[in-house]
Amino acid sequence: MATKKASTKLKKTIVRQPKEPIKEKDKKINNEIRRLTGIFKDIEKNKRLTSKGLIEEAAYMKATLVELKASIDENGPIDEMQQGEYSILREHPALKAYNSMVQRYTTVIKQLSDLLPKELPKEVSDGFDEFVGGRSD
């Protein structure tokens, strides 16, 4: 019985985010999915399933990074945390999450870039062939 009361109390303390920002975030994610899909459209067909999942994750991370960045700009990079009778300064949790996620985002974008077909380097003319071809001997 005691566990039921404890779980009931726990459920009451959960704070739900309003639904409107989620819809706005979904729009940002979908826009980013479209943007990344266009950038990585040349990925081979047999690698597209992999790329689809990576694109979706990258889009989510990008939208979240924008939110975290706004929070950092609004609240600053340092947070004051109360510890009993005194307070300490610490890295803001949003900054910590941002720094962690930006590394993961960079890794996912690198993985996507590695799935693109390798382009052969174009030979840069040194002018010799044009010189020889232009002579009238």
- Residue 11 clears pLDDT 90, i.e. is over it: no
What CA–CA distance (Å, rounded) separates 27 from 38?
Answer: 17
pLDDT band at 130 (very low <50, low <70, confident <90, very high): confident
For 15-66, the pLDDT digits (tens) are 445 555 668 899 999 999 999 999 999 999 889 888 999 999 999 999 999 9
The runs of H, that is alpha helices, within 14-125 are 19-39, 48-75, 93-115
82's CB contacts (< 8 A; 6+ apart) are none
Which is more confident, 75 or 21?
A: 75
- Residue 13: per-residue pLDDT: 41
The whole-angstrom separation of Cα 94 and Cα 15 is 18
Confidence of residue 120 (pLDDT cuts 50, 70, 90): low
